Amino acid sequence: MIDRLKSGYDAFERRWRQSAGGDLSAPGARRSALWHFHLMDHAFLRVFWSNMAQVAPGVWRSNQPDDRRLKRYRDMGIKTVLSLRGDKPSSHLALERATCARLGLTFEVASIGARRLVPADRVLHLLDLFETVERPFVMHCKSGADRAGLAAALYLMHIEGRPVEEAAKQLSMRFLHSRRGATGLLDHMLDAYAADTAKEPMPIRTWIETRYDKHALEDEYRALQAKGG
């Protein structure tokens, strides 16, 4: 009974998410997207909590912004908004894209994971964006804890040339990120880079291009968890 109810709820939410991510100009579409955004994407929890911090000069990180916060970002001089949540149809994507267009903000999208690593080409796409986006810019995921932390660390290493030990501090409890559980995989990725390049330093981009293996890293981390590490 419980499994049937859960399956029904998941199917309902999936249909709503897909429809809420469509054309906002259709009758009632924006209202539906806003309801989904606040209830299912938990935007109501982020009204007074931005998890925002400066990563480097002209670079910020935060959780998913709403319309009002995007306007504040524009007013503080932000030029570009970089979503790390991918481009699958969703209420947050449709609303954010429309609001950025209205406010004159450039909107960019990358896709990285919080509990799974992504293929090398997605990481390299993010590094490419770091090189080309107009600053000041803000990058964000849903909560601003995990994906935003990994992206901020990658930015510091790739653009600012900071050591991995310093960059890895972007993944911390200060932003509600935990090394335990599934999200600790992101820390494991940076730990692997640090260990692999300790004797022979290598830029993070080169490591991603030549040695990064998402499946191997995921298997290693599962083995560590099984051992209680």
- Report the pLDDT averaged over residues 172-178: 96
How far from each other are the two terminal CA atoms of the chain, in whole angstroms? 37
Residue 75 pLDDT: 98
- The pLDDT value given to residue 34: 81
221 belongs to a structural domain: yes
Structure confidence by residue, pLDDT tens digits, 59-115: 999 999 999 999 999 999 999 999 999 999 899 999 999 999 999 999 999 999 999
- Per mean pLDDT, which range of 7-11, 118-122, 205-209, 221-225 is the poorest? 7-11
DSSP tag of 60: E
pLDDT for position 36:
83
Longest pairwise C-alpha distance within the chain: 61
Q: How many Å apart are CA 89 and CA 59, to the nearest integer?
A: 27
- Domain assignment of residue 5, yes or no: no
Residue 70 lies in a domain: yes
Please report whether residue 23 resides in a domain: no
- Residues spanned by the domain of 158: 47-226
Domain assignment present for 162? yes
- 79 in a structural domain: yes
pLDDT value at residue 186? 98
Peptide bond into 65 cis (omega under 30): no
Residue 6's pLDDT is: 55
In the chain, the number of structural domains is: 1
pTM: 0.90
Is residue 21 one of the residues assigned to a domain?
A: no
The residue whose two tokens read 């660390």 is 153
User: Is residue 30 domain-resident?
Assistant: no
Please report, for the domain that includes residue 52, its CATH number. Answer: 3.90.190.10
